[in-house]
Structure 1
């Protein structure tokens, strides 16, 4: 597959250069990287190539990189380069989803052969996804953000509309709702999909180093700056930058960011030379930035500059009917990560999940799926559960969630649902109409009632 991207990860400079040169001579488009983190920033669900990584590396090793990549897309092929003493480790990694492993020392032909097979497989995976989408089946975005509620359908529509453009965007939503998932989806839908996706947590940057971290610096720019260093913005060249929790950014730095957004250039600390910046900016916030502007904590001009396109990620409470579907998907993912059999979630459990408030949203639900997969109680005793204020509201919400969960658990077939609930078919239809439930919006299709 000539032209398909190959990410080569190895902290050994000489090994990395020689391997990259050999692969380029064989016709591959190779990007040589010194750290696993750089590979994570390039290999999303839209990534059309393969990853080759050494196992033993400082910081994030090859096995951890494999696990992180499988969380992003379980079908990205990863080839491990291993020493003799690490063969058993590599074999175990293959059981967890690695495509292949090659033992050192290896010939170029051995690596080229494995890489060609991996790229052919990746091409088939992406083509199958495209054909399923054309046929009206779940596409990649629907797999990342499952659900049939009106709010999640609207969100996917907006992401498909905004993603392929180069417009900056503002993503608002509560903690754990999936703002970074939405940002990553927009990146993967854009022409920048094969370039870095850099997520920067503005709340976690140390105030004394934030400018150097973002803009970079020249040697001697401040005490301890012994050599020049690229900042995070330059590192994202050609790609997408997500400014997570941008409301936490200090006001003085907001002014500098505004200038970057307007001029698409940066100036490193200790330099007067502007550096052109070809990136797309996405910003996310759990706080309503319009309210932050009114309170004087966020610059109005920066708010309007970022708010070219607005994406709101809804909390789980706004799409309770999606909770059973999402939980079942999270169970599959957790089972694959831990290499265990996927546990069965009974309708009663799905109903309880849908009836519960999730202040931590999708992240909290993911933790519950993780615990359930490991055989633990799905609800953390330390986590509180909210409730509707009136008894009638609670009863109606519970009834709706029980019916929706039963329909999801039985794949849209209604006969086992009304039999399980001990009601007539007519009563079930009446209750579905009362609660605004459509089985086609709860599951993909479903068999006949019979």
Structure 2
């Protein structure tokens, strides 16, 4: 999971202070004093985000932005300036800047902007990993030969070009983001795919994040901002974890879907947008709606077509080829020789529940290649059909208890330390029989 921030500013004091702030917040910071130096830092393996001052001698922030997005259009670039005007800010956002910060900014504003940008980068990276996992003989990036996956690929091919809104339902790690990318790629839409993690938006800024704002409409920022929904104009919006939206935001999103119009914060008139909406949830939205925990009217608006992604435990015939491909990919990426894979090792893989699904399998494959944890699958096979699962559970229990101990039982801090969504974390606590309250005090 990427945690790297490249900070670019020719002001020595500001550069050192901002780098220190981000380092204390837990980020891996690289600080350089020029756009030219930043260009040299951003090689093919750079997986972080960039924060750059606009006004610098030589390669300025706008030129740096153009060079970066020419190499990687998905790399988030945050521009900062103390003298920026509205046309320049809007031009930068249209060019591809992720955000614009006005000097002087607070430490909290800087950290919040970085976390949003890194979350977007992480989602893109995960989608790319899943997409790259496809073997060449598969009909697309969705790997597997189980009947459910074969039918899912066919359905995506059928509805992709139509442009109908789609609801994707599936457990964490089943590849909902990948399916959204496939739907967008199969469409005839020329705009971008904009992913919005509804559960990761900072509290109090959700409305401005989604719909944008006019100048001086949001405390702490004088600049106008284009909302994430409007950024997807003529393209596809992917609303991930849509169940995380508050009731008021659900109603606001429903109005956007009905009218295809957004109203920025502080604006007096709406703006028409052309969107295809793909939404996703790891929970059963219909059950939530009937229980009064999700707007029933929004649910009916979202599910023109519903795609259900099966968990790995329901398509066990796909686990072995997926694991083999992830091992080969990890070995190639890390520049090592792939470990020997034996049939009995695969039998163990198929007996594990894989609650984290494809994402968990991918990370386990990487650990297998690195020789971390209980990786000797072939040797452990003779210990019995449950041995691998028991050892994995014990290893996971140790990691979770260590994180809870360091966080004094604070679930939010433990989730952040482990890089796990809260829902997945609570699922693992219940499955492993761990009580966070025992670590408090």
Q: Matched residue pairs, number? A: 286
| Partner-residue secondary structure (3-state), 1:153 | helix
Q: Is residue 181 of structure 1 aligned with residue 194 of structure 2?
A: no
Q: Quote how far apart the aligned CAs of 1:223 are.
A: 2.3
Runs of 4+ off more than 3 Å:
9-20, 31-38, 58-61, 67-75, 378-384
Contact map agreement 2:131 2:142 (CA 8 A) in 1: no
The verdict on how the C-alpha distance between 1:18 and 1:231 changes in structure 2, with shifts beyond 3 A counting, is closer
| Partner-residue secondary structure (3-state), 2:243 | helix
Q: Is residue 244 of structure 1 aligned with residue 240 of structure 2?
A: yes
| Partner-residue secondary structure (3-state), 1:40 | coil
Contact map agreement 1:293 1:299 (CA 8 A) in 2: yes
Q: Distance in 1 between the 2:357 and 2:239 partners?
A: 21
| Partner-residue secondary structure (3-state), 2:195 | strand
Q: Distance in 2 between the 1:18 and 1:285 partners?
A: 37
Match of 1:302 among 279, 298, 302: 298
Counterpart position of 1:390: none
Q: Is residue 226 of structure 1 aligned with residue 260 of structure 2?
A: no
Q: Distance in 2 between the 1:72 and 1:176 partners?
A: 10
Q: Is residue 311 of structure 1 aligned with residue 317 of structure 2?
A: no
The verdict on how the C-alpha distance between 1:41 and 1:153 changes in structure 2, with shifts beyond 3 A counting, is farther
Contact map agreement 2:211 2:263 (CA 8 A) in 1: yes
Contact map agreement 1:197 1:242 (CA 8 A) in 2: yes
CA displacement 1:116-155 (0-9 Å, x = unmatched): xxxxxxxxxxxxx9xx8xxxx433x2xx222211111111
Contact map agreement 2:261 2:272 (CA 8 A) in 1: yes
Q: What aligned pairs does 1:97-108 form with structure 2 within 5 A after superposition?
A: none
Counterpart position of 1:290: 286
Q: Is residue 171 of structure 1 aligned with residue 173 of structure 2?
A: no
The verdict on how the C-alpha distance between 1:330 and 1:16 changes in structure 2, with shifts beyond 3 A counting, is farther
Q: Is residue 340 of structure 1 aligned with residue 336 of structure 2?
A: yes
Q: Quote how far apart the aligned CAs of 1:311 are.
A: 0.4
Q: Distance in 2 between the 1:70 and 1:289 partners?
A: 27
Q: Distance in 2 between the 1:306 and 1:36 partners?
A: 34
| Partner-residue secondary structure (3-state), 2:199 | helix
Contact map agreement 1:172 1:311 (CA 8 A) in 2: yes
Contact map agreement 1:41 1:197 (CA 8 A) in 2: no
| Partner-residue secondary structure (3-state), 2:345 | helix
The verdict on how the C-alpha distance between 1:243 and 1:37 changes in structure 2, with shifts beyond 3 A counting, is farther
The verdict on how the C-alpha distance between 1:18 and 1:232 changes in structure 2, with shifts beyond 3 A counting, is closer
| Partner-residue secondary structure (3-state), 1:203 | coil
Q: Quote how far apart the aligned CAs of 1:38 are.
A: 7.6
Q: Distance in 2 between the 1:226 and 1:18 partners?
A: 20
Contact map agreement 1:218 1:225 (CA 8 A) in 2: no
Q: What RMSD in Å do the two structures reach over aligned CA positions?
A: 3.5
Q: Quote how far apart the aligned CAs of 1:17 are.
A: 9.9
Q: Is residue 269 of structure 1 aligned with residue 303 of structure 2?
A: no
Contact map agreement 1:33 1:39 (CA 8 A) in 2: no
The verdict on how the C-alpha distance between 1:246 and 1:73 changes in structure 2, with shifts beyond 3 A counting, is closer
Q: Quote how far apart the aligned CAs of 1:339 are.
A: 2.1
The verdict on how the C-alpha distance between 1:346 and 1:72 changes in structure 2, with shifts beyond 3 A counting, is closer
Q: Distance in 2 between the 1:371 and 1:362 partners?
A: 14
Contact map agreement 2:167 2:302 (CA 8 A) in 1: yes
Q: What aligned pairs does 1:415-434 form with structure 2 within 5 A after superposition?
A: none
Q: Distance in 2 between the 1:205 and 1:167 partners?
A: 26
The verdict on how the C-alpha distance between 1:326 and 1:184 changes in structure 2, with shifts beyond 3 A counting, is same
Q: Distance in 2 between the 1:246 and 1:253 partners?
A: 10
The verdict on how the C-alpha distance between 1:364 and 1:269 changes in structure 2, with shifts beyond 3 A counting, is same
Match of 2:395 among 351, 360, 382: 382
Match of 1:213 among 209, 217, 224: 209
Q: Distance in 2 between the 1:16 and 1:262 partners?
A: 42
The verdict on how the C-alpha distance between 1:36 and 1:247 changes in structure 2, with shifts beyond 3 A counting, is farther
CA displacement 1:53-112 (0-9 Å, x = unmatched): xxxxx9789xx99x949636669xxxxxxxxxxxxxxxxxxxxxxxxxxxxxxxxxxxxx
Q: Quote how far apart the aligned CAs of 1:19 are.
A: 7.4
CA displacement 1:188-233 (0-9 Å, x = unmatched): 11123x6322211111222311000010001121322311111111
Gaps of 5+ in 2: 1-48, 77-112, 376-387, 398-441
Counterpart position of 2:73: 39
Q: Distance in 2 between the 1:37 and 1:204 partners?
A: 27
Q: Distance in 2 between the 1:41 and 1:279 partners?
A: 22
The verdict on how the C-alpha distance between 1:233 and 1:341 changes in structure 2, with shifts beyond 3 A counting, is same
Q: Distance in 2 between the 1:41 and 1:262 partners?
A: 32
Contact map agreement 1:41 1:196 (CA 8 A) in 2: no
Counterpart position of 2:327: 331
Q: Quote how far apart the aligned CAs of 1:273 are.
A: 1.6
Counterpart position of 2:407: none
CA displacement 1:229-276 (0-9 Å, x = unmatched): 111112222221111111111111111111100111101000012111
Contact map agreement 2:68 2:75 (CA 8 A) in 1: no
